[in-house]
Chains A and B, each alone.
Chain A
Amino acid sequence: MTRFLAKRLAGMLLVLGLVSLMSFAVIELVPGDPTAAFADASATPEQMARLRHELGLDLPLPQRMADWYGRLLHADLGQSILLRRSVTDAILERLPVTLSLAGIALVAALAAGVAAGMVAAAYHKRWPDQVVMTAALFGLSVPEFWLGLMLILLFAVRLGAFPTGGFVPIEQDPAAWARSIALPAAALAAVQVGFIARMTRAAVLDVLHQDFMRTADAKGLSRADIMLRHGLPNALVPILTVAGIVTGSLLGNAVIIEQVFSIPGVGRLVVGGILSRDYPVIQGGLLFLAAIYLMMNLVVDVLYAVVDPRIRLE
């Protein structure tokens, strides 16, 4: 296990190194820089040069690269050009928002998706199976931003049951927090439910044909007992894989949902950074999201061994 973790952590560092290099290269290749936010078309070449100097944009490429990696070695993601704070602080301020959004969406999507997948498997080729699979296909085909807007129109504008957007911190007002996070989490989860349901159905159907399932049936166990005590635990490994993939998608899709619902999360921070060419925010944000993604994958790999003792991590 220790050897496995050491190997995976080394791999993660390598991937993070590549991500940091790519985020640096992308910024170099895309035209435009943060001076656009500060100087207008009337700025003279001297003013532009002064501004570029103040923002450190006139430094030679190797020096900027050395600065970037030097800071990274000290776990410092740099200073945002526009936000008047360090990138680390900016991310940490917004992290609870994104994690609560993605976390709630993950739990909701797993609960609904696994339940729907098991029902579909249990009633294979019968009407519940067809209903679940049709709904899953619909969920998979709907873009999050459209679903988000529809939820806003129905539940916020028509029914007035939820706010149309914005975010209330949980420590400020737990009830208002729950109302502010409900619609975006639902929009985020809905698309993943279909995916999880389909994968769960396939995994459980595989298990249903195993000998031990027939034995359980022959013992006279109820259908629910068979599914929950024998079917689900044995289908957990593929479901865990799906959960890992879904977590990554949720973090990616949260960027869009945060825009639609005006939620101040990490995704919106990165998008704002890209649009204003706030280089440290783009670089730091991308690196941070990549690190979270890698960590989630590692957690899923470790969980494989927990749920299935036959798997040995080496």
Chain B
Amino acid sequence: MQRRTFGTAAIGAAILAAAPRMARAQQRRGGEVVIAIVQAPPSLDAHITSAQVSRNITLHIFETLYARDENARPVPELATGVTISPDGKTYVFPIRQDVKFHNGKALDAQDVVASLERYRKLGASATLLAAIDTVKASGPNEVTVTLKAPQSTFLDNLSSPRAPIAIYPASEAAKAANQIDYIGTGPYRFVEYKPDSHVRLARYDGYRLNPAASGRDGLAGKKEVFLDSVVFRFMPEAGARNAAFQAGEVHFLETVDAEVAKRLGADKRNAIYKALPFGFQVIKFNHALGATGDLNFRLAVQSALDMEEIMALSFPDIYQMDGSWVYPGSPFHTAAGTEKYNKPDPAAAKALLAKSGYKGEKLTFITDPLRSDLDTATLVQERLKDIGVMVEVSVADWPTVSKIGFTPTGWNFWTHGFGIEPYEGPASVMLPWVNGLSQQKPDPEIDRLYAALNAELDEAKKKAIFAQFQARLYDQAIAMKAGNYGYFQAATARLKNFAPYRIPRMWGVWLEQA
């Protein structure tokens, strides 16, 4: 009797303790947040595009087996965990049984198998799953993946948000690219896509918080939604975006210039956030064409440039000087090779240039019209002129530049940001240099290190391999990193508990009543 009284009292106390929290949650509920984004997403079929603008939206609708936590480490999301066989080739994923898709269907192993198979066939980054031999449902709520060979980065790949390996209902996963209905398990459900105007999402009231998570955690964790809806409005013109924000029609700007951030931040109705680091500025060399194929020439360029000058001009007030090819805080962050990072020495540059085969010919620097890329190209052009290297800057839109930049002719230098690669981890940073993809001439040592990293299961040895890779980037001046950059983001001060991340997460945030 006493025990029953105690039990009843305990339950009563628990209810009393939870009541204020529930009431608070109820108070926070409601409202619509309008986010201005710079362009329309090429697709909302998460599998088929790696465009950042798409993942900003799709990661609210869809979820993955594993997702990245706040420190970009893979943690279970729709899986409850994984059992890896001692030979590193078999992964058994138990699937959460409390999850329902937006159409009410319960998630099961068949959905996971169909989604992974679809991604292998038409995923924008199908390379992520290239190591898979077979995917099978080994139970109604269990999936077994067998790899062709052990791959130390398999969970990193599976949880990559690049072109998310989203889990669709099997019926949707059977459809062709870009033909699916947008049905996921995420905290928001798809409502409408008005071409050239906006995408609207609404809170999915059937969403089950991940019981294993303790709070908001990167792209994983608890995704508690207070807002009724989120609208992603496509606004290509920066001035119009800023004006809409000031007029209160837009509540969140994904990126604003330093000057605009200062102006908006002076108004108490606004809050300015720094998403830093968000990427790093890379200057690539074409090793297959002319002078940039000469090691001494590349080392001369490396010595001629003041990277801080480049970052201060291209990303005023929002950059970090860091020579490592992963972000600070990553377990792979290393100083290997960085004694050559940001050491401008014009005399040494001229000496190296004299040893190179450069004969005064004009070299081509290709860039897209993004202001930071253009500033980087222009400054490099000026500094190389100082040591006697003639550079012509050629500006074209991104599809044109990215087409030329992956061919062996038509360019010597190319600059752009690396954002998702360092976030994904060391293998993704190494991949663009494997088989000479970015530098247009294979480097057997980099190819060897990449293969070794993928096969190595020991964390300490993986770190050593990545350090060797980074040292090689500097020693051979394969490419140059200028520094880490970030974005200023602006939100209405009414948007509470927002924290910048790789996407503007609309879970865990609420709108304070006006």
Q: Contact residues of A with B, CB < 8 Å?
A: 30-33, 36-44, 47, 50, 54, 82-84, 90, 93-94, 145, 149, 152-153, 156-157, 160, 163-167, 259-265, 268-269, 272, 275-277
Contact = CB atoms under 8 A, between A and B. Distances in A.
B364 interface: no
Nearest to A55: B177
A264 B196 contact: yes
Nearest to B245: A164
Nearest to B176: A54
Nearest to B34: A166
Given A40-B50, A160-B247, A269-B196, A275 B397 contact: yes
Contacts of B178: 82, 84
A279 B106 CA distance: 40
B140 interface: no
Contacts of A39: 50, 124
B195 interface: yes
Contacts of A40: 50, 124-125, 162-163
Nearest to A44: B127
Nearest to B121: A50
Given A82-B42, A84-B179, 19 more contacts: A31-B399, A31-B404, A36-B399, A37-B42, A38-B177, A40-B124, A41-B432, A41-B437, A42-B125, A42-B127, A43-B124, A43-B127, A44-B127, A50-B122, A157-B246, A163-B247, A264-B196, A264-B197, A275-B39
B48 interface: yes
13 contacts: A38-B42, A42-B128, A43-B125, A44-B126, A47-B126, A90-B195, A149-B237, A149-B239, A164-B249, A167-B197, A259-B236, A262-B237, A272-B39
Contact of A32 (B43, B233, B237, B400): B400
B75 to A, nearest CB: 23
Nearest to B198: A166
Contacts, number: 132
B196 A260 contact: no
Interface in B222-263: 233-237, 239-240, 243-244, 246-247, 249
B3 interface: no
Contacts of A163: 247, 249
B406 interface: yes
Contact of B195 (A31, A83, A165): A83
A37 B43 contact: yes
Contacts of A156: 243, 247
B51 A272 contact: no
Q: Which 4 A-B pairs have the closest CB atoms?
A: A32-B399, A264-B196, A37-B42, A40-B50
A54 B127 CA distance: 18
The bracket for how many chain B residues form the interface is 35 or more
A38 to B, nearest CB: 5
B49 interface: yes
Contacts of A166: 197, 233, 249
Nearest to A156: B247
A37 B247 contact: no
Given A42-B432, A47-B127, A164-B247, A276 B399 contact: yes
Nearest to A269: B196
Contacts of B130: 44
A38 B43 contact: yes
Nearest to B126: A47
Contacts of B42: 37-38, 82, 276
Contact of A152 (B243, B396, B397, B403): B243
Nearest to A85: B195
Contact of B399 (A83, A152, A275): A275
B244 A33 contact: no
Contacts of B196: 94, 263-265, 268-269, 272
B238 to A, nearest CB: 10
A163 to B, nearest CB: 6
B194 interface: yes
A3 to B, nearest CB: 42
A13 to B, nearest CB: 30
Contact of A264 (B195, B247, B249): B195
Contact of A31 (B243, B247, B400): B400
A33 B42 CA distance: 13
B468 interface: no
**Interface of chain B: mostly helix, strand, loop or mixed:** loop
Given A38-B48, A47-B127, A82 B400 contact: no
A125 B29 CA distance: 67
Given A82-B43, A276-B399, A41 B406 contact: yes
B442 to A, nearest CB: 14
A166 to B, nearest CB: 7
A31 B397 CA distance: 10
B501 interface: no
Contact of A38 (B49, B128, B240, B406): B49
B431 interface: yes
B403 A260 contact: no
Nearest to B396: A31
B179 A36 contact: no
Nearest to A268: B196
Most buried by B among A30, A42, A47, A54: A42
A262 B234 contact: yes
B438 interface: yes
B240 A32 contact: no
B80 interface: no
A42 B130 CA distance: 11
A84 B42 CA distance: 10
B124 A165 contact: no
B473 interface: no
Interface string B384-412: 00000000000011111011101000000
Contacts of A42: 125, 127-128, 162, 428, 431-432
A156 B438 CA distance: 46
Nearest to B407: A31
B40 interface: yes
A43 B438 CA distance: 12
Contact of A277 (B235, B399, B404): B399
B153 to A, nearest CB: 13
B197 A157 contact: no
B243 to A, nearest CB: 5
Given A163-B249, A272-B40, A275-B39, A153 B243 contact: yes
Contact of B177 (A47, A54, A93, A260): A54
A152 B240 contact: yes
A82 B404 CA distance: 22
B195 to A, nearest CB: 6
A32 B401 CA distance: 8
Contacts of A30: 400
Interface in B159-211: 162-163, 177-179, 194-197
Nearest to A31: B403
Contacts of A83: 195
A208 B49 CA distance: 65
A264 B128 CA distance: 36
